[in-house]
Amino acid sequence: MSDKLKTAQQVANKKAQELSEELKVKVHPLIFLVKEHGEEPIIGYIKEPSRAVKLAVMDKYSTGFYSACSQALDAVILKEHSDPRITSERNEDDLYYMGAVYAVSEMIQFAGNQVDKKK
How much is the pLDDT for 71?
92
Confidence of residue 109 (pLDDT cuts 50, 70, 90): confident
| Rounded Cα gap, residues 6 and 3, in angstroms | 5
Question: pLDDT tens digits, residue range 71-84?
Answer: 999 999 999 999 99
Which CATH code of 3.40.1190.20, 3.30.2220.10, 3.40.50.10420, 3.30.300.180 fits the domain covering 3-107?
3.30.2220.10
- Per-domain residue ranges of the chain: 3-107
Q: If we measure between CA atoms, which residue out of 32, 41, 42, 55 comes closest to residue 107?
A: 55
pTM assigned to the model: 0.85
